[in-house]
A and B are shown apart, each in its own frame.
Chain A
Amino acid sequence: DTEVTQTPKHLVMGMTNKKSLKCEQHMGHRAMYWYKQKAKKPPELMFVYSYEKLSINESVPSRFSPECPNSSLLNLHLHALQPEDSALYLCASSQDLQGARTEAFFGQGTRLTVV
């Protein structure tokens, strides 16, 4: 099983709303990632968690707040977003960040529209 599940698949939110994106995997992976992808662009790394600790934060604005409550679950809390934050948000996981166990698997993404 190489499944990473993201919910919801689509989300429309206003600029004053607070919402959360959820990502779940049951492969025993200890590294989890959030990416943002704008149309016709490659995925851009936002955050990486390793063993439930934030390992990489690519200078993402504070209106995006990640959370890793356990080794299977990764959340992205959204608050006071702007229309330019509309994008496909992708979650990924890998066994580890080190050595040969770094093959990453992606979820189907959440397509976010900020109005």
Chain B
Amino acid sequence: GIQVEQSPPDLILQEGANSTLRCNFSDSVNNLQWFHQNPWGQLINLFYIPSGTKQNGRLSATTVATERYSLLYISSSQTTDSGVYFCAVNNDMRFGAGTRLTVKP
């Protein structure tokens, strides 16, 4: 089956810093989503982005389907951005291992 790899596994930032999270996948995909899992376990939809670029406030994402990767950009990070960020691909939503982000005040 398709392999999904996320990097880095852990990231610690000072509040206000910018960051880039990466999701690589081993085969072509027809669906890619980015999620933020909060400390209570809720998976919050960030982007549905099988290709192209989208922006939502301080967050933006780019998927280059032909090169099999997607990037999530977080600008001016806040402590509330802390949590685990997952990418998931294809119609049966296969998840990467996630990036655990900690934003320190």
Contact = CB atoms under 8 A, between A and B. Distances in A.
How large, as a class, is the contact surface on chain B? 20 to 34
B91 A102 contact: yes
Interface in A26-83: 31, 33, 35, 37, 41-45, 48, 56
Interface stretch (B53-61, B70-78, B95-103): B95-103
A112 B86 CA distance: 22
Contact of A97 (B42, B91, B94, B95): B91
Contacts of A37: 41
15 contacts: A2-B45, A33-B92, A42-B95, A45-B92, A88-B41, A97-B91, A103-B33, A103-B45, A104-B45, A104-B88, A105-B45, A106-B35, A106-B42, A108-B41, A109-B41
Given A43-B43, A48-B92, A111-B41, 18 more contacts: A2-B45, A37-B41, A42-B95, A43-B88, A43-B93, A43-B95, A45-B93, A92-B43, A97-B91, A98-B91, A102-B91, A104-B33, A104-B93, A105-B45, A106-B35, A106-B43, A109-B41, A109-B42
